[in-house]
Amino acid sequence: MKRLAVVVFNLGGPDGLDAIEPFLFNLFSDPAIINLPLIIRKPLAWYIARKRAPIAREIYSKIGGRSPLVDQTQAQAEALEESLADLADEVRVFVAMRYWHPLVPEAVRAVQAFDPDHVVLLPLYPQYSTSTTESSFAAWHKYARRAGLAPPTQEICCYPINDGWLEAQASLITTTIEDMRRRDGTDKPFRVLFSAHGLPKKVIERGDPYQWQVEETARAVVGALDIPDLDWTVCYQSRVGPLEWIGPSTEEEIARAGVDKVALIVVPIAFVSEHSETLVELDIEYGELAEASGVPAYYRVPAVGIDQRFIDGLGRLVRRIVRRAGHTCRTRGPRNCPIENKRCPNTPPGRSAPTRAAS
């Protein structure tokens, strides 16, 4: 193979305070987020963006007025490119953000200029969801088709229990526990909270596999930690709006830890990079809530970032799919997700395939 292009996807984030409102508009105008007809969705997206922009500006002002997500994703792309250098004569890893620059159409143009023989699409969302991975892939195929970009293209749909992802998580958690014990003593009882971004319950009820995959990740990380009688739970953060969301919420679990008088080790189990939901929501807002709730100590495990174990795990996924050695997400049988998760992209025969949202 002469030229291999790998495209890594993430949601993106505003690169300045002036970008917050258009970023939010792009987010809420995605039919994967608000599933309404275009004529209703666009005006509603502008209304929500304008209403939420002041709150978001306050959030981003606490972390320098911009999201660090793009810079961190670019660093991950560069590390992955180095890891894959021997897989083709020339390997390039491109960044595609769903809601702010570099947007998917920009990434399509960059890949087209590279003129690859083969393309691999790699989401930086370890757990598959219609609201993230499916939306990103749909946008890629839409703009690639418009541009006439048509080399052989493969998708890595998810990797909730990828070995490198699990090893990086377990190592970072172990380091944080050791740090807590050095500071607070070895006998302090603690609980590990695996906190993931939440989703409305109706999304999961329609067959989205995200919650099941998040909880599979947590179980696998606990197994890798191999700590006898570890106290742990999965919870969900970032609830917005009036809909019922999956739970328990991270706020509820923090309050429970205060009642139980146990220290907290909080793990961002669905995020691979630092951004507003880790640096503000987890570190600042939930840290303050923990103190107010009487939690004896509150520690937050960093996102995996460019941890070499994580990068190498991604590299093995790419190598495996390029060499066609089975499907990257399968861990048992013909599919990974339970049959009720019918929005899993590996739907077996006789089931409806997931509907790709059109932008």
Please list, in sequence order, all residues whose beta carbon lies within 8 angstroms of the beta carbon of residue 196, skipping any fewer than 6 positions away. 127, 214, 234, 235, 236, 237, 268, 269, 270, 271
Helices 135-147 and 104-114 pack at an angle, to 10 degrees, of: 50
Cα–Cα distance for residue pair 265/233, rounded to 1 Å? 11
Contact criterion met (CB below 8 Å) for 190 and 230: no
Helices 163-184 and 308-322 pack at an angle, to 10 degrees, of: 170
- What distance lies between CA 9 and its chain's CA centroid? 9
Cα–Cα distance for residue pair 352/256, rounded to 1 Å? 40
DSSP states of 78-118 as a string? Answer: HHHHHHTTTSSSEEEEEEEESSSSSBHHHHHHHHHHH--SE
Per the DSSP assignment, residues forming a β-bridge with 5 are: 92, 119
- φ/ψ of 251, rounded to 5, equals -60, -45
Strand order in the sheet with 263-268: 232-237, 190-197, 263-268, 298-300
310 CB-side CA count, 13 A: 23
Smallest CA-to-CA distance from 84 within 5, 10, 140 is with: 5
3-class secondary-structure state, position 169: helix
Contact criterion met (CB below 8 Å) for 107 and 95: yes
Is 277 annotated as ligand-binding? yes
268 CB-side CA count, 13 A: 23
Is 197 annotated as ligand-binding? yes
Cα–Cα distance for residue pair 356/52, rounded to 1 Å? 27
State the binding site for Fe(2+).
197, 277
State the binding site.
197, 277
